[in-house]
Chains A and B, each alone.
Chain A
Amino acid sequence: QVQLVESGGGVVQPGRSLRLSCVASGFTFSTYDIHWVRQAPGKGLEWVAVISYDGSNKNYADSAKGRFTISRDNSKNTVNLQMNSLRGEDTAVYYCARERVGEWVAGVAIDWLDPWGQGTLVTVSS
């Protein structure tokens, strides 16, 4: 079945780095854009970054720009999120999710996230 599995979370000190991975299975990975979305404890969802199906386009939330780098290896069905200069406010469960694209309406593609992985917890603390 279609599945995404995140790994790499853990406890890290402020200012240090961590790399998250998202491994996909059950679908043609190289044809889908992949997103990272995070959720701080007890808070809502926050979009972090997206990488296009071939890795040629990447976009980041302002909170991630300059510190986080998203990449992918289609030969390994994997998307990574390299997180540098981590701060306490980066503490969250990090989810990866596949972007689905449907029909186009009024020049805009209908797109949504499905499925989501189970998440990996990142705790930034000294």
Chain B
Amino acid sequence: SSDLTQDPAVSVALGQTVRITCQGDSLRSYHANWYQQKPGQAPAVVIYGKNKRPSGIPDRFSGSSSGNTASLTITGTQAEDEADYYCNSRDSSGNHYVFGAGTKVTVL
């Protein structure tokens, strides 16, 4: 079982906004990162440190956090955003990384 809880799947109409959430007690102490994984590919970070985007990641991706919940929002979702998204943080000890179970985003 994961210390971070994500909804298994969400769907969004092309061009609309979707928000994915990640809940866990450790998020009160540690930041969340978000990774995108497309079929057959390795994961790649899209948001780190709660709301920072690596270079090359479109600004339609944004992150936020409140209490024990972190969120990834895709504004104006594109077809190429269809993927699995995983949140990641540390456990309560701070010594181990943990991942959420992932959210599959389907673009309609």
A and B are interacting partners: yes
Contact indicator A44/B45 (Cβ below 8 Å): no
Q: Return the contact of A47 from the options B29, B48, B94, B97 (Cβ within 8 A).
A: B97
Contact indicator A115/B44 (Cβ below 8 Å): yes
Contact indicator A110/B31 (Cβ below 8 Å): yes
Q: For chain A, what secondary structure do more than half of its interface residues adopt (helix, strand, loop), or is it mixed?
A: strand
How many residues of chain B get a CB closer than 8 Å to chain A's CBs?
27
A95 / chain B contacts, CB cutoff of 8 Å: 42-43
How many residues of chain A get a CB closer than 8 Å to chain B's CBs?
24
Binding site for A on B (CB under 8 A): 2, 29-31, 33, 35, 37, 42-45, 48-49, 52, 54, 84, 86, 88, 94-102
Binding site for B on A (CB under 8 A): 35, 37, 44-47, 50, 59, 61, 95, 100, 102-103, 105, 108, 110, 112-119
24 residue pairs from A and B, CB less than 8 Å apart: A35-B97, A37-B99, A44-B2, A44-B84, A44-B86, A44-B99, A44-B101, A44-B102, A45-B37, A45-B88, A47-B97, A47-B98, A59-B95, A61-B96, A102-B48, A113-B33, A113-B45, A113-B88, A113-B97, A114-B48, A114-B54, A115-B42, A116-B43, A118-B42
